[in-house]
Structure 1
Amino acid sequence: MCCCRPAFVVLPLTLTGCTGWQSSLDPQGPQADTLATLFWVFTAVLTLVWLLTMAALLLSLRRDRAARAGPLSLEPQAERSMICAVSAATALTTAVVIALTVVSYAAQRALFSSREAPLTLMVKGHQWWWEVTYEDAQPSRRFTTANEIHVPVGQPVLIKLQSSDVIHSFWIPTLAGKMDVIPGRENRLVIEASKDGTFRGQCAEFCGWQHAHMAITVVAHPYGDFQRWRESQIKAAAPPDDPVRKRGMDIFLSRPCVMCHQIRGTAAAGKVAPDLTHIGSRLHIAAGTLPNSRGNLAAWIVDPQAIKPGAHMPLMKLKAEEIEPLTRYLEGLR
């Protein structure tokens, strides 16, 4: 009874990895469905192969062997049986390898088949955050956000992947497979969400000190909700409507923040760091490191190195009375 207890403890913990907002075994889109099916096919076939191999081994160990006349004596019947068994095993192995190759090739064709995508995004990897640009034939309808992708349910989305520094890897496990993000090269990936929800992604290639804190969130909306979100993101930031937020905007524009960050509709036009035009509408800050709240914004602004050591955001010299107006201004950028 005591020997079984570890199994009862470990098994539920293992099974929890099959579900969740960042599990490739909990597919929420056609690309992820294809990969999950491929995984389970390989797992079933290889499990069967292992069981057959173990069964053959046990049978051979339990088999009674008659005493030989001498160490070099031959047993024609036994030799013929052994040759037949090895030949059958070789043929079966060849058939299994060919079948798995065909299945894998078919899955690859399905994943990379050319389909028209009504929505195209440019996603650029930085140390350690994601820049997301929504492309459009009309330049006035293009906009940039960071670390968060919003998509319509049931529509394929083409993602063009680029890197500004080192090799990254873009991976939304519940929606698609991994795709490397390589400097000087543009790779492409199609994702599609089958239902509305929030799905977490991660940089899957070690890219430096804060690699583990380089997450990306995908939010899938019904088409109407997505269109409303998109229209709100296209607009410039609304001017502050109260004295405290107006003071917060003045503080922001008078600090070095404007050299790195952009807030459309203001004098801040930096292109080095994330676009903050609608930062108040995002779920997280610092590439998924913290939930987006006024307190976390304040902590991030005051000492980003304490939260994400090595991040390229420097410390801002702020007076204590400046923190509240600044965070309220940023929180209101929706």
Structure 2
Amino acid sequence: MIARRGVPLPALLALPLLPGCTGMQSSLDVGGPAAGELRLLIVSFTVICGIVWLLVVATLGWALLRRRPAGTGARTQRQLTWAVSLSVAATAIIVAGLTTLSFLATRSLGGGDGEIEVVAVGQQWWWQFLYPREGFQTANELHIPVGRTVRIRLESADVIHSFWVPSLSGKMDMIPGRTTALTLKAERPGVYRGQCAEFCGLQHSHMGFTVIAEDDVSYRKWLTGQAQPARPAATEEIRAGQAVFLAKPCAACHTIRGTTAVGTAGPDLTHIGSRRSIAAGLLETTRGTLAAWTADPQTLKPGTTMPLVPLTSIELRQVAVYLESLK
């Protein structure tokens, strides 16, 4: 049972982080060259720091267990001087080496040129992805072709967010009034999980997205489909749902290309039925979840800016059928 002011812990634990996502959200599960450099950096830091820790513990143990000398002669002083000097030199070399590795790894995250450019806009609490060349936008689902460099231009509509796909690249902050960028390149097809990595408000943890890397043919097919307006209503129930959607405040906040709904406050819903999840990865896209979200978004995601729209049970079913048909 869902409580009025929020979802109880067992229900929250039962919700998948990103429904339909098969990839791991881990920097060690590498799917791209930038993530590979970051994994090397993580492994290098772990191994080197582990060796240093072992040497320090071994030295400490030797100092505690050895027999103390009767005096501190010149020879002992020279030995101590050499030991301290070597330790200082080793520390400087290790710090310089790790700093260089860190610089080389993070340099690959920069927003250089890419074969494709996508604009990612962080919102409280969902992701807007715009494809300027093709002239359409989508929400919470980023498609990229395998083996090609994609430049992601990062913007924020409200507060500081952070764009992070651990298996493909490092994270980059999205700052209001400032444009940043990073590049993504997937070396193998798959579905990769992304997440906002900067605390941005009440529903920060429910601000996820998916990156779908696919072969060039599938990617071009997806682009062609997404650029099309919404398909015409095919049944009487779908037409009724469309009429309800356009008559209610839904059309003032959302866009459905090919209809009179041209709102910009919420996600573009032109092809919402083809997306893997809704509410930024909170729920799998089904007729039931579409109805539940439309009926009471504040219970599922407290603090979301989507208002409660009064609908009868018949209207709710019709709207859910209509949204599911938008593929």
The one-letter code of the counterpart of 2:92 is T
**Quick check: 1:259–1:269 contact (8 Å CA) kept in 2?**
yes
What pairs up with 1:272-283 in 2 under 5 angstroms? 272-283=265-276
Match of 1:30 in 2: 33
Structure 2 equivalent of residue 263 of structure 1: 256
Residues 111, 183 of structure 2: 8 Å contact kept: no
Q: Show CA shifts across 1:123-155 (max 9, x none).
A: 11111111110121xxxx310111110111111
Q: Which residue of 2 aligns with 1:99?
A: 97
By how many angstroms is 1:103 displaced?
A: 1.9
Paired letter, 1:230: L
Q: Give a deviation string over 1:12-67, Cα, whole Å, max 9, x none.
A: xxxxxxx9521011111011111111111111111111111111111111111144
Partner of 2:215: 222
Q: 1:88, CA displacement in angstroms?
A: 0.9
Residue 158, structure 1, aligned to residue 147, structure 2? no
Any residues of structure 2 matched to 1:193-208 within 5 Å, and which? 193-208=186-201
User: AA paired with 2:41?
Assistant: L
Structure 1: 5+ residue runs without aligned partners?
1-18, 69-73
Conserved 8 A contact 1:155-1:193: yes
- CA displacement 1:204-246 (0-9 Å, x = unmatched): 1111111111111111111100100110000000111111101
Q: Would the aligned equivalents of 1:129 and 1:215 in 2 still touch at CA under 8 Å?
A: yes
Structure-1 residue corresponding to 2:118:
121
TM-score, normalized by length of structure 2?
Answer: 0.91
Cα distance in structure 2, aligned partners of 1:274 and 1:305: 16
- Look up the match of 1:3: none
Q: Which residue of structure 1 aligns with residue 4 of structure 2?
A: none
Q: 1:89 aligns with which of 87, 90, 103?
A: 87
Question: Within 2, Cα distance between the matches of 1:110 and 1:242?
Answer: 51
Of 247, 252, 266, 1:254 maps to 247
Deviations 1:91-135 (A, max 9, x none): 111111112222222223333383x41211111111111111012
Q: Is the 8 A contact 1:34 1:111 kept in 2?
A: no
1:7 maps to what in 2? Answer: none
Between the aligned partners of 1:124 and 1:66, the Cα distance in structure 2 is 68
Shift, 1:76, TM fit: 2.2
User: What residue number does 2:67 align with?
Assistant: 64
Q: Is 1:49 aligned with 2:46? A: no
Question: Counterpart in 1 of 2:322?
Answer: 329
Helix, strand or coil for the counterpart of 2:106? Answer: helix
Query: What is residue 10 of structure 1 aligned with on the other side?
Result: none
Residues 55 and 173 of structure 1: is their aligned pair in 2 closer, same or farther, counting only changes over 3 Å? Answer: same
Q: Is the 8 A contact 2:32 2:167 kept in 1?
A: yes
Quote the RMSD (CA, aligned, Å): 1.4
Structure label with greater radius of gyration:
1
More moved, 94-103 vs 180-189? 94-103
Q: Indicate the percent of aligned positions where both proteins have the same amino acid.
A: 47
Paired position in structure 2 for 1:39 = 42
| Normalised TM-score (structure 1) | 0.89
Structure 2: distance between partners of 1:130 and 1:112: 21
Q: Distance in 1 between matches of 2:255 and 2:30?
A: 36
Mapped to 1, the partners of 2:264 and 2:166 lie a distance apart of 29
Correspondence for 1:6: none
- Runs of 4 or more, structure 1, over 6 Å off, are none
What is the aligned partner in structure 2 of residue 12 from structure 1?
Answer: none
Question: Which residue pairs with 2:142 in the alignment?
Answer: 149
Is this contact kept in 1: 2:23–2:193, CA < 8 A? no
- Whole-Å separation in 2 of the counterparts to 1:256 and 1:323: 14
Deviation at 1:322, TM superposition (A): 1.3
Matched, 1:211 2:208: no
- Which residue identity does 1:122 align to in structure 2? V
Counterpart of 2:322, as a letter, is Y
